[in-house]
Amino acid sequence: MSALSLTRRHALTAGALGAVGLSLPNLLANESRKANAKSVLMIVPWGGPAQMDTLDPKPDAPEEVRGEFQPIATRTPGLRVCEHLPKLAALSDRYSVVRSLSHTITAHNPATYYTLTGHKPTRLAELAPPERGDRPALGAVLAKDAPTSGGAPGYVVLPGPMVEKGVYAGGQHAGFLGTRYDPFVVSADPNDAKFAVPELTPPADLGPARMAGRRDLLEQLEARRARPDQPKDGYREQAYDLLGTAAARTAFDLAREPERDRARYGRTRFGQSVLLARRLIESGVRLVLVNDANEKNNERWDTHEGTYPKIEKNLHDTDAALSALLTDLSDRGLLESTIVVWLGEFGRSPRADGEGGRDHWPRCYSALLAGGGVAGGAVFGASDKLGAYPRDGACAPEDVHATIYHLLGLPLRTDLSAGTGRPAPRCDGAPLRALLA
């Protein structure tokens, strides 16, 4: 990991880009840096974790703000996190914390769209369903612009899509890029003893030659009846690629992992999902999105009425899985090429009830970034004394996306519209340059 000088650490902690003379033109200039990052592993604690209960504790605030948990020191001087993140505290030289994310969208689904696409939604209804004309998810953009080799899917979502009250949250699919770049969704619990991905298991009598023959025949039949401008069925193309590649199927086989390694991640649905995500990154997947939520809703982190013991369990799960992930990626030489992002759709209101319940609060929240060229042991931005609003370095989801694209070496202003007539740049944000190693 890159060591930070004292002067630079102070600048990072301050988090105010203007304070060090960086203007928007400066930020957008010189996009030709050598990119080491190749993949992204994004973890979304869906529902909105409280910033003061995770990465931005407020021990000097009133009791109803600071909550029940205590802060602990990390390996980084001056950086404290929640007491229930001790393993992450010991690894703080491998990641950066952002404490000044801010926007105004208070409903889960549109805020999720914003988080996963890096673009503000045009529909703010609480349960706005996705539409094919939506902006594409970050994973879909990478699947298109940085295609994989060897049959690995470009974009995977696990252990199931984000669904609130029966509505598939926007921002998870490829939008106007088309079905070819929609995610491969694993809708099963990787911690289940019988975990399997049926879509990757062809019938016993369907070998590679027969499958290739069927594919050719089907394409010939469709070519005779299709319009010249009709695109191929993207879902079927993905399925054929996966079925025809043993290496891609092997990546999903968690039984190949030693039990001691599985235990380090935590024998939970979430922990095993993060472990599976690591295997998929190793196989060449460009972006794996881990949905950290309950099986059919977002109530794991949506703590309106959540008790501190419930939040504490979430933190223990996160601490085990994320610390194991950072250690594994580093030990395997993959951290420099893999951007790790822990980012919810918003935070929680400063004042809690007696049991830890807090409301939606997008005006100030925190995130963790690591790997792929992100500096270690850094803090970007700062919140006010209550964790209610940014005090320095206010930024938004599009700036996180801009940072990711920059680390991947992908120009921000490339038009993704594919001839729709409406310019659609990859990203409208500015990279958080102070976080770059």
pLDDT in tens, 242-259: 545 666 778 999 999 999
Q: Higher-confidence residue: 4 or 412?
A: 412
For residues 420 and 293, the model is more confident at: 293
pLDDT of residue 316: 98
- The model carries a pTM of 0.85
The burial class, CB within 10 Å (0-12 / 13-18 / 19+), for 18 is exposed
Question: Which comes out higher in pLDDT, residue 32 or 25?
Answer: 32
Token pair of 284, please? 């060449």
pLDDT in tens, 376-387: 999 999 999 999
What 3-state class would DSSP assign to 306? coil
> Is it true that the peptide bond before 362 is cis, omega within 30 degrees of 0?
no
How far is the C-alpha of 367 from the C-alpha of 350, rounded, in Å? Answer: 17
Rg (CA), the chain: 21
pLDDT of 51 strictly over 60: yes
Share of the chain above pLDDT 90, in %: 70
Contact status, residue 425 vs residue 414, Cβ threshold 8 Å: yes
Q: Decide if pLDDT at 18 tops 70.
A: no
Q: What percent of the chain has pLDDT over 70?
A: 80
Q: Would you say residue 231 has pLDDT above 70?
A: no
Instruction: Output the pLDDT for position 60.
Output: 96
CATH 3.40.50.150 for the 6-202+244-435 domain, yes or no = no
The alpha carbon torsion through 3, 396, 364, 9 (nearest 10 deg) reads: 20
Backbone angles phi, psi at 370, to 5 degrees: -150, 160
Give the whole-angstrom CA distance, residue 277 versus residue 263: 15
Helix (H) or strand (E) holding 260: helix 259-265
The string of pLDDT tens digits covering residues 272-285 is 999 999 999 999 99
The HSE-up count of residue 44 (CA atoms within 13 Å, CB side) is 33
Over 80: is that where the pLDDT of 3 sits? no
Q: 293 and 47 in contact (C-beta within 8 Å)?
A: yes
Mean pLDDT of 324-342: 98
pLDDT attached to residue 238: 57
Read off the pLDDT band of 19 (50, 70, 90). very low
Instruction: Please name which of 307, 255, 308, 320 lies closest in space to residue 87, comparing C-alpha atoms.
Output: 320
Q: Minimum mean pLDDT among 4-8, 177-181, 235-239: which range?
A: 4-8
pLDDT in tens, 77-101: 999 999 999 999 999 999 999 999 9
From the number of C-beta atoms within 10 Å of its C-beta (0-12, 13-18, 19+), residue 206 rates as exposed
- Long-range (24+ apart) CB contacts under 8 A made by 105-110 are 105/345, 105/346, 105/362, 106/346, 106/360, 106/361, 106/362, 107/360, 108/46, 108/47, 108/48, 108/164, 108/169, 108/298, 108/302, 108/345, 108/360, 109/164, 109/167, 109/169, 109/170, 110/170
In contact, 402 and 429? CB cutoff 8 Å: yes
User: What's the pLDDT tens digit per position in 99-146?
Assistant: 999 999 999 999 999 999 999 999 999 998 999 999 999 999 999 999
pLDDT at 149: 77
